[in-house]
Amino acid sequence: MNSCMERLYNGIIKENPTFVLSLGMCSTLAITTSAINGIGMGLATTVVLALSNAMISLLRNVIPDSVRMPSYIVIVATFVTVVQFLLQGFVPSLYNALGIYIPLIVVNCIILGRAESYASKNPVLESLFDGIGMGLGFTLGITGVGVIRELIGSGSIFGVPIIPLADASAGKAGYEPITIFVLAPGAFFVLAGLIVVINSFKRTDRRKGRQGSLICDEESCFTCTNWACPENKNDNKPEYVIKKEALLQKAQGGRNS
């Protein structure tokens, strides 16, 4: 049981997908116009993540290595479709608010990333809890973004008015909502602000000794630094990467000798 608790802690705090790993940015930015959408999306993703992690872990010795990605995608897409119909049937308002972003859970980097890096190598129970932990971490992250955007952009949280709004016709003084925060640009600004806050708490040399991907930025999408990254296939390496690697090797060799 201890390892399961460790998985939960890992997902929610240590490797929080939104703030630490920067995964699943599409839905983080797109649907967080209000806190309730954030929770809905987060929980939908959690369910998909937990179930697909468990299923992939169950099948990890059956799926041949060469077709693992398509198999994972089919498993994930199946659960996403199930969740989509459940939402449509039982919470139609949320279903309408999230719209196209529900089926897009399939391509959320968190899910394939966890399938590849955790569920395909670990036992079922741990994988299930890894999925729940990561999902809750994601829920926490996007609900946080949603709360901030809703508070600044419309003066309420979960639809409950928090700051008294100004009402010009009644001559009432109060808070003038900054509407840009519930529109597209606000999403970028809020996320940037949150990462700045986190960065200023982190030590700057935290990635010492780890050499990131050369095509993609170090902190960009998980899938880039993982299975999809062309750098993992030698014959695909572009020229400038080969040059860069040669330079890096030279520099390191020089330091060692």
Partner 1 sequence: MKTLIVILISSAIVNNVVLSQFLGLCPFLGVSSQIKTAAGMGAAVIFVITLSSLVTSTIYSTILYPEYDYLQTIVFILVIAALVQLVELVLKKYMHSLYKALGVYLPLITTNCAVLGVALKNVTNSYNIIESTVNGFATAVGFTIAIVMMAGIREKMAYNDVDHAFRGKPIVLVTAGLMAMAFFGFSGLIG
List interacting residues with partner 1 (CB under 8 A). Answer: 22, 25-27, 29-30, 69-70, 73-74, 77-78, 80-81, 84-85, 99-100, 103-104, 106-109, 112, 180, 183-189, 191-193, 195-197, 199-200, 204, 215-221, 223-224, 228-230, 233, 236-238
Residues whose CB falls within 8 Å of the CB of residue 223, separated by 6 or more in sequence, listed in order: 109, 112, 113, 229
What dihedral do alpha carbons 74, 22, 9, 41 form, nearest 10°?
A: -60
Nearer to partner 1 by Cβ, of 5 and 74: the residue is: 74
Give least dist CB 200 to partner 1, A.
4
Q: How far apart are CA 116 and CA 227, in angstroms?
A: 8
Report, in Å, the least distance between residue 230 CB and partner 1: 4
CB of 167 to partner 1, least distance (A): 26
Angle at 8 between CA 19 and CA 69, to 5 degrees: 75
Question: Would you say 8 or 216 has its CB closer to partner 1?
Answer: 216
Q: According to DSSP H, which parts of the chain are helical?
A: 2-9, 25-30, 35-58, 68-90, 92-98, 109-114, 124-154, 184-201, 222-225, 239-256
The residue whose two tokens read 């010009």 is: 168
Q: How far is the CB of 171 from partner 1 (least distance, A)?
A: 31
Nearer Cβ to partner 1 (63/125): 63
Which residue number, 99 or 123, has a Cβ lying nearer to partner 1? 99
Shortest spacing between CB 188 and partner 1, in angstroms: 3
- Write out the two tokens for 158: 């979960």
Pick 164 or 238: Cβ nearer partner 1: 238
